[in-house]
Amino acid sequence: MKAAIIYTSITGNTEALAEEIYQGMISKGIEVDFIPVDDLDYDMLPSYDVIAIGTYTWDNGDLPMEMEDLFTAFEEMDMKHVTTGVFGTGDSFYPYYCGAVNLFRDMLFVHTNLAVTLKVELTPQVSDSKRCEKFCDRLMGQLVTA
Ligand SMILES: Cc1cc2nc3c(=O)[nH]c(=O)nc-3n(C[C@H](O)[C@H](O)[C@H](O)COP(=O)(O)O)c2cc1C
């Protein structure tokens, strides 16, 4: 079983959430590659069984620029065998709260085996830890079995 967390973060909120999810997966004995999107080797994508994607939201509910290539890669590659989850942080002050999570969710639902989503307001709080745990459980519970 091969898993990856691929994320982007500017001010650290999404990175903190990604780290919490990473720890959650590690504690369940899963081996996980922890990859900032700028370091991603795109050829590796189809080799994962599970991929969790972490993104903040920019502009008016839009994807961060550095996530656009990843978004297109999922659209173009055949990855129905890959179980995915998408998580992100946003600010509910904006009209499209965590809009980038919604954009990934809708696309991953079509092109992968989407298992779960998670939205967190700015910095993850202690009260979010149960939600992180659920995210991991749902992600791992919906593995595609060959
Ligand atoms: C210019 C700008 C635009 C933003 N637009 C949105 C938005 O449309 N929706 C949203 O939920 N959050 C929006 N945010 C908030 C960020 O997504 C939020 O602060 C996030 O936690 C940043 O993640 P990071 O710390 O991982 O970089 C915006 C922030 C900035 C500075």
Who wins on pLDDT, 145 or 136?
A: 136
- CA dist., res. 40 & res. 36, Å (int): 7
pLDDT exceeds 70 at position 146: no
User: What confidence tens digit (pLDDT) does each residue in 81-135 have?
Assistant: 999 999 999 999 999 999 999 999 999 999 999 999 999 999 999 999 999 999 9
Over the Cα atoms of the chain, what is R_g? Answer: 14
Out of 3.40.1280.10, 3.40.50.360, 1.10.579.10, 3.40.50.1110, the CATH code matching 3-141 is: 3.40.50.360
More confident residue, 141 or 16: 16
pLDDT tens column, 50-83: 999 999 999 999 999 999 999 999 999 989 999 9
Confidence of residue 136 (pLDDT cuts 50, 70, 90): very high
**Can you tell me which atom of ligand 1 is nearest the CA of 60?**
8
Cα 65–chain centre separation: 16
The Cα–Cα gap between 54 and 50 comes to 13
Task: Name the CA dihedral angle for 129, 36, 59, 69, rounded to a multiple of 10 degrees.
Answer: -130
Q: How confident is the model at residue 145, as a pLDDT?
A: 57
Please provide the DSSP assignment of 75-121 as one string.
HHS--TTSEEEEEEEE-TTSSSTTHHHHHHHHHHHHHSEEEEEEEEE
Q: What is the pLDDT of residues 22-46, one digit of tens each?
A: 999 999 899 999 999 999 999 999 9
Q: Are 7 and 15 in contact (CB under 8 A)?
A: yes
CA of 78 from ligand 1 middle (Å) equals: 30
Is residue 4 within a helix (H) or strand (E), and if so which, with residue range? strand 3-7
| Per-residue burial over 133-143, b = 16 or more CB atoms within 10 Å of its CB, e = otherwise | eebbeebbeee
Q: Closest ligand 1 atom to the C-alpha of 16? A: 26
Pocket, ligand 1, Cβ cutoff 6 A: 9-15, 56-61, 89-91, 94, 96-99, 122
Q: Whose CA is nearest to atom 18 of ligand 1?
A: 90
pLDDT of residue 36: 98
Q: What does the alpha-carbon distance between residue 86 and residue 115 come to, in Å, rounded to a whole number?
A: 9
What integer pLDDT is reported at residue 51 of this predicted model?
98
Q: For position 111, what pLDDT does the model report?
A: 97
> Span 8-14, mean pLDDT?
98
64 within 8 A of 55, measured Cβ to Cβ: yes
| CA 46 – CA 101 distance, rounded (Å) | 21
Show me where the domains of the chain are located.
3-141
